[in-house]
Amino acid sequence: MVRGVKLRMEEYVPAGNFLKTSFVRDRVELTTRFSEFTDDFEAEFLAQLVKVDTLEQTLKLTKEQKQMTLSLYEAADVLNKELNFLIFYFKRAGLESDLLSQLKSDLRGKNIEGACYKMEGLIQYVTENEAILVSKGMAVGFANTLSIAKNTLAGKNASQNEIMDIKGQLHESNAKEYKKLYDYIATIVSAGKIMYANASKVDEYTITRLVSRMRVVKKETAMSEAV
């Protein structure tokens, strides 16, 4: 394929669908110079596209992963804001707040594993200093609130990691099917770029253009879902 441009596995189907329209339209013309583009080649390409699309749709992981990521980051933002109150209580009590600052930095940077690890130390520190913190305005039992928040964050993070692992396994276990589709795409694109080098339709056989079109569609879909 085009040097320096690489499709991600989840982009094979969208790219294939864009390319399909052009290839089906131009296939007969392409056979005048590329005899391998027979009816059977077209049928096999379309069948492979459907096969990989079915694999992608089985778990619908992309949308689910986006929702889980959004939920995870929302929980991190809520906790980060809640910690602002704790900083106030710490300052009023004259307690060291370096751990709090590091924790908030992790939350802002979406370093969830690091944040959960630091939460353990914070919960213990708050528990040990509960009396003085309560005297400065902190609610009794606030350490338990922090523990619940930490468990929620850890649970959402584990779910997101599980989804990512499943998606990776999906691609890995079906690598041959993805490669087969990629090979069809690469062959068609290479031929189309030669055949239509001096025509405007060459863009339809250029991966950078296909990627650009996919991003536009992706952005428009995301915007419509957000409305």
Token representation of residue 156: 């959402």
Which pLDDT value is given to residue 10? Answer: 79
Average pLDDT of the chain is 87
| pTM > 0.85 | no
Question: Percent of the chain beyond pLDDT 90?
Answer: 67
**Cβ atoms within 10 Å of 113's Cβ, excluding its own:** 12
pLDDT (tens digit, 9 = 90+) per residue, 148-204? 999 999 999 998 888 777 777 777 778 899 999 999 999 999 999 999 999 999 999
Question: For the chain, what are the domain ranges?
Answer: 9-60+168-226, 62-166
Those residues with Cβ within 8 angstroms of residue 199's Cβ, 6 or more apart along the chain or in another chain: none
Contact between 78 and 145 under an 8 Å Cβ cutoff? The reply is no
| φ and ψ of 96, to 5 deg | -65, 135
Which pLDDT value is given to residue 65? Answer: 75
223, pLDDT greater than 90: no
4, pLDDT greater than 80: no
pLDDT (tens digit, 9 = 90+) per residue, 13-46? 999 999 999 999 999 999 999 999 999 999 999 9
